[in-house]
Amino acid sequence: MIDAEFDGITLRTPVKEDGAALNTLVRINPPLDMNSVYCNVLQCTHFSDTCIVAEREGALIGFVSGYIKPAEPHIYFLWQVAVSREGRGHGLATRMIQAILARPVCSGVRELNTTITRSNQTSRALFARLAEKEKADITEEEEYFSRKVLAGHAAESLFRIGPLKSTQK
């Protein structure tokens, strides 16, 4: 399913064949956290309705993964955003997130949650811009996942953005 097309970029629902390309995209764009190819294939299949691919001329240049929390169906949890150098400068990350939120599967979603490390200023700026575009509040709960819980990875804060306008029909 195609969500949007602009500047030669197509936003669409991922398919299982995108899993390996997603793994490569993350690997060549540090400091993103790597997952296994198997995990990426699951994101592109089991969670395809709540994930999105951006491609230009058949090459994957962006991906957003996330899911609707089973116990809290009003919350979309955004797991990871990846944008290649070639995809930067188009507002691609925000466009991908808003395209997912506009899908029928997200019609009951009222809040976006994500976790971000203290040092990741790029992600912090992205989600501040998203909150501004959504005219939504943004709050931070520090040390949501501690360094100990994450086995030595930097602690992650929980960001809550809502209420969302992209999901309002």
Which of the four pLDDT bands, split at 50, 70 and 90, describes residue 31?
confident
pTM: 0.94
Task: Taking residues 26-53, report their average pLDDT.
Answer: 94
Per-residue pLDDT at 18? 97
User: Is the pLDDT score of 167 beyond 90?
Assistant: no
Q: How far apart are CA 128 and CA 112, in angstroms?
A: 12
Does 2-162 carry CATH code 3.40.50.20? no
Instruction: List, for residues 77-88, the tens digit of each pLDDT value.
Output: 999 999 999 999
3-state secondary structure of 80: strand
Compute the Cα dihedral for 23, 84, 28, 128 and give only its sign: negative
Compute the Cα dihedral for 35, 41, 44, 47 and give only its sign: negative
Which of the four pLDDT bands, split at 50, 70 and 90, describes residue 169?
low
User: Is the pLDDT score of 30 beyond 90?
Assistant: no
Task: Taking residues 126-149, report their average pLDDT.
Answer: 95
Task: Answer for the pair 62, 24: CB distance below 8 angstroms, yes or no.
Answer: no
User: Is the pLDDT score of 157 beyond 80?
Assistant: yes
Instruction: List, for residues 41-96, the tens digit of each pLDDT value.
Output: 999 999 999 999 999 999 999 999 999 999 999 999 999 999 999 999 889 999 99
Please state, as a whole number, how many other Cβ atoms lie within 10 Å of the Cβ of residue 54: 29
